[in-house]
Amino acid sequence: MGARKGQRDDAVAILLLVEDHEAHDVGSRGLDVKASSTLRLISCERTRLTSTMAARLRRRALLILEVFVVHGPVAKTRLKGFAGSRGRQPMSKAGWGYRESTEHFTTGQAMPTPMPAFAGLQTLCLHRRGQPKFCSGQQARGEDRVRTEAEKAQLAVVEDHMQEKAEDWNLSKEAIEAAAQLMLSDGQSLPTDLDERGIMLLFLYAKGISRQKASAERRAEFAALLTPDDNYHYEQSLQRLGRLVLEGERSDSVLDKCNSFTRFLDSVPAWQDNAASYVAFRDDPRISCGLLERVQLSGLCYMHAPIVLQAYLVAMHAGSQTGASKMLDLADYIRKHRTARELEDHIFRGVGGSSRAFLRQILANASGLAGFACTQMVDEVVGQAVINRIISNLKQFGPALVSGFVVTENFLEAKIHEHLGQDNSTEVGLHSMVLVGHRKESGQDRFLLQSWWSDKSFIEVDADYLAAQQASLVFVQAEQPDIPAQFSTNSARHVELEMTVKERLPMEM
C-alpha cells in the first residue's frame, strides 16, 4: 500500500470518477436517493492512498468508480489500460489502493477501460476532424460550448432552408429534422443565402438520396456531383439534378405553326388527308386541345408517354371547346412524389422505369386497362381481328400507350419516319410512345406513333414492325375526369424536360 522509496514526498494528483449520491426529500414517498456521476479531482500531498481515505469518501456518499493518475511520479509509470489499451486493472483484496508490485491503482474489482492519463492535469479534446488537441479542462469545456452553439445555429439554418422548400419538395417535419441532422453529422454547412449548388445539395439531403451509404462515401459522391470537373457522368447527373431542382419544365401554351406534326406531314404527306387517315388529336372532336408536344431531354420516356396520354384522355372527358389543355407537371411530380431510390437512379444513373406502372400511378381511374401484345397482330388466325379491335378502340377510347418498344440502331436515324417489316439492326434499348393514328396503304394497315424526340416526333409503322419490336398497347377504357388533385398541372401544349442527345435513348423497363 505504500509508495516507492524516493517518491514519498512527491505530490500525487488523482482524478477520481465517483458516483455522488444526493438525498432528496420527496414528501410522503420518503427519501429518494438520486445518483449522478461526477468527476472529482483530489490532490494528495505527502499522503498515501489508504483505506482510511476510501472510508472518508464513502462517508461522504461518494462511490469510487475509476482512478486516473494525472500528475506526479505515478503518472509516469507503466499504467496498463491507459494509452489506448483495453487491458483491465488488476484486482485488489484490500479494497483499493496503490499496488507496489504492479504500480497500478485498483478499485477492488475489474475496472472498465479507463480514460488516458496525461501529465499536467490536461484533457484530450477530439476535434470534429478527429485531430487530437491538448487543452485544459476549462478550455475544453469552453470550446465544447462554442462548438455546440455553432452546431445549433447551423442546424437552424439548414432547417429554415428546408422549411422554405417544404411545399415545393413535399417535405414532412420529420423528414426535415432527419435530413438536417444527417447534413450536420456529415459536416456539411450552408450559408444563410444559398447559391444554386447549395440548393441542389440541400435537395439531395432533404430527399434522403444516398442516405443508406456511409458518410464518407456520401460526401464524396455529392462533391463529385456538384463539382464534376469534366467528368462526363457527373456532368450529365448535375444537369439532370439542375433541371429538376432549379429549372423545371420549359413550356408554352401555344404551338408554333411549324410544329412537330406539320414537319412530319412534310415527310409523309399521306397523313395530310383526314378522309384517308385518322389522327386522334386532329380528328376526334372531344380532343379540342389538339396536338400536345413533349420534348424528352432525358431517360424519362416512360413518364412522357403516360402524361401525354393522360392529357388527351382528360381532354376527351372535358369536351371543352376552348382548346384548353391540362397536363401533369413532370418536374414537380418527380421532386415531390418519387422515392429517394428512384431519385438516385434518375439523377446518378438516368435509369428509366415501367410506363404501364407509371400510368396507373397518375390516372384518376386506373380500372379498365385493356392490353394487347403486338405479336397478336401478325397471328395467321386472329391477327386481322386484333388489328380491327385496336382500330375500334382507338376511335372509341382514344390514344393508347405503346410500352416496351425495342429500339434498334435503324430507328435512331432521325431522317427515317417510316419503319416497315422486320428490322434486324442491333437492339439498343426500350422506348415508350403513344399510338395516335391509323390509315390504310394499298390495303395494308399503317399506324402513327407519337414520340418525344425533337428530331423524330412521329413515326409510321406497320403491324409487322410493331410485332417485331415486341411492343404492347394499353387502352384506358375508364373515363378520366381530371388529373388527381395531389399532382401539379399546367396548361402547356409544348413542354421540354430533361436530356442531352447522347442520353436520348432511355432504358424503359
Q: What is the pTM of this model?
A: 0.67
Average model confidence (pLDDT) for the chain?
A: 75
Task: Read off the C-alpha cell for 86.
Answer: 483495453
Q: How far is CA 42 from CA 73, 119, 267, in A?
A: 16, 15, 96
Portion of the chain with pLDDT greater than 70, in percent = 64
Cβ count within 10 A of residue 452: 30
Report pLDDT for 139: 62
CA–CA gap between residue 466 and residue 163 (Å, rounded): 49
CA–CA gap between residue 456 and residue 206 (Å, rounded): 37
Looking at residue 286, its amino acid is: R
Buried b (16+ CB within 10 A) or exposed e, 414-424: eeebebeeebe
Judged on CB neighbours under 10 Å (0-12, 13-18, 19+), 192 is exposed
State the average pLDDT over residues 4-14: 40
Closest CA to 438 of 222, 284, 209: 284
Q: Which residues pair with 45 in a beta bridge?
A: 11
Report pLDDT for 490: 82
Task: Read off the C-alpha cell for 191.
Answer: 450559408
Closest CA to 483 of 346, 355, 306: 306
| CATH architecture of structural domain 250-499 | Alpha-Beta Complex (3.90)
Q: Which residues pair with 133 in a beta bridge?
A: 125
CA–CA gap between residue 185 and residue 84 (Å, rounded): 25
Closest CA to 434 of 247, 267, 305, 341: 305
Between 68 and 312, name the one with better pLDDT: 312
Instruction: Render pLDDT for 149-170 as a digit per residue (tens, 0 to 9).
Output: 888 888 999 999 999 999 999 9
3-class state of residue 158 by DSSP: helix
pLDDT of residue 76 exceeding 70, the answer is no
Task: Read off the C-alpha cell for 472.
Answer: 404492347
Task: Read off the C-alpha cell for 455.
Answer: 428530331
Report pLDDT for 55: 55
Q: Where are the domains of the chain?
A: 11-120, 137-227, 250-499
Instruction: Render pLDDT for 372-428 as a digit per residue (tens, 0 to 9).
Output: 999 999 999 999 999 999 999 999 999 999 999 999 999 999 889 999 999 999 999
Half-sphere CA count of 314, side-chain side, radius 13 A: 23
CA–CA gap between residue 477 and residue 211 (Å, rounded): 41
Closest CA to 468 of 416, 409, 408: 408
Report pLDDT for 326: 87
Lowest mean pLDDT segment, chosen from 71-80, 349-358, 480-489: 71-80
Instruction: Render pLDDT for 27-58 as a digit per residue (tens, 0 to 9).
Output: 333 333 333 333 444 444 434 444 555 555 44
Report pLDDT for 146: 59
Cβ count within 10 A of residue 346: 23
For β-strands 327-328 and 489-490, DSSP reports them as antiparallel
Sign of torsion over alpha carbons 85, 91, 95, 98 = negative
CA–CA gap between residue 498 and residue 299 (Å, rounded): 8
Task: Read off the C-alpha cell for 74.
Answer: 505515478
Closest CA to 215 of 257, 246, 187: 187
